[in-house]
Amino acid sequence: MKEFSDNRDLASEAIHWDQDISYGGYLDLDRLLDSQNLRTDSHDEMMFIIIHQASELWMKLCIHEIGAAMREVSRDNLGASFKMLARVSRIQAQLRQSWDVLSTMTPSDYLSFRDGLGQSSGFQSFQYREIEYALGNKNAALMEVHRGMPERYHRLKSVLEAPSFYDLCLQVLDRNGFDIPAGHLDRDWALPYEPHQAVEDAWAKVYADPEKYWSLYELAEKLVDLEHNFQMWRFSHMKTVERIIGFRHGTGGTSGVAFLKKALDLRFFPELWTVRTGL
């Protein structure tokens, strides 16, 4: 294969050497690449910072896609939401891969810069919390760590008090003639969701006749895929933390691995999991 060795190889190309908008300018790379502010001289701190920064960018895209999918579902435009949800699943795969990279760090590597983290912790990620609230893990206490940052706190509060993705999906079921309890269609959205047999029965009807309810059937599977990938992300996070720090407390004050294990028992869309047993 011929390699490009000098500008003579570019003679036939219409390269724009003087750009009004350059690649670096469009992506604001100077600011992006100047955002890795190391606090120690540890070699591994650079990797640690970049992985977490990249994860926050992926989460920003998740929020963008989930929010758009929720708007489409609220308009009964399920088909448009499916592409967005499929994209979120691909993003989640990238987030899981980040833990594979981080797991190359040994306990000694981490301890070489851990004190430089102070009390900073992934528990304080407001974007992660926004994703959880949007999907249905409504726990008001979890946003208290952001009370000192009014803009972020009020944003999270607005997501907490709005219907979750699952709440919107139950409204779609209701509009399609399924018997959804009134208390699941109009309630205090800031409170945790409580499963109901009538909701499971509605999903059972969808699964019993996919051809008749194809869009709802596809919606259900997209939600299951979304939660499955979210749980795999959580699990990868927990196992990576266990591998690096064992059962030490986290920098943000949580119990570390023990705290992360509790999250594995949480369900965003509970009836979509329980319905499988009786099908």
Residue 185: pLDDT above 50? yes
Mean pLDDT for 108-126 is: 88
CB 273, CB 267: distance < 8 Å = yes
pLDDT for position 260: 78
C-alpha span between 202 and 174 (Å, rounded): 9
pLDDT for position 2: 47
Residue 16: pLDDT above 80? no
Looking at per-residue pLDDT, the higher value among 72 and 235 belongs to 72
Rounded to two decimals, the pTM is: 0.89
pLDDT for position 51: 96
C-alpha span between 22 and 193 (Å, rounded): 48
CB 202, CB 274: distance < 8 Å = no
Residue 187: pLDDT above 70? yes
Residue bearing tokens 């949480």:
266
CB 198, CB 170: distance < 8 Å = no
Q: How far is CA 231 from the centre of its chain?
A: 10
Does residue 118 come out as left (phi exceeding 0), alpha (psi in the -120 to 50 range) or beta? left
Residue 225: pLDDT above 90? yes
- Distance, first Cα to last Cα, the chain: 56
Binding site as annotated, residues for substrate: 48-52, 110, 114, 251
Residue bearing tokens 């570019």:
10
Mean pLDDT for 228-249 is: 86
User: Looking at 4-8, 63-67, 199-203, 206-210, which range is the least confident one?
Assistant: 4-8
Binding site as annotated, residues: 48-52, 110, 114, 237, 251
Binding site as annotated, residues for heme: 237
The reply to whether CATH 1.20.58.480 applies to domain 42-277 is: yes
State the average pLDDT for the chain. Answer: 91
Residue 44: pLDDT above 50? yes
Domain ranges, ordered by start, for the chain: 42-277
Mean pLDDT for 132-151 is: 94
Contacts of 173 (CB under 8 A, 6+ apart): 180, 199, 202, 203, 206, 216
User: What percent of the chain is modeled with pLDDT above 90?
Assistant: 75
Tally of residues, the chain = 279
pLDDT for position 122: 77
pLDDT for position 252: 63
Contacts of 117 (CB under 8 A, 6+ apart): 39, 251
CB 63, CB 91: distance < 8 Å = no
Tell which residue, 139, 111, 107, has the closest CA to residue 123.
139
C-alpha span between 81 and 158 (Å, rounded): 22
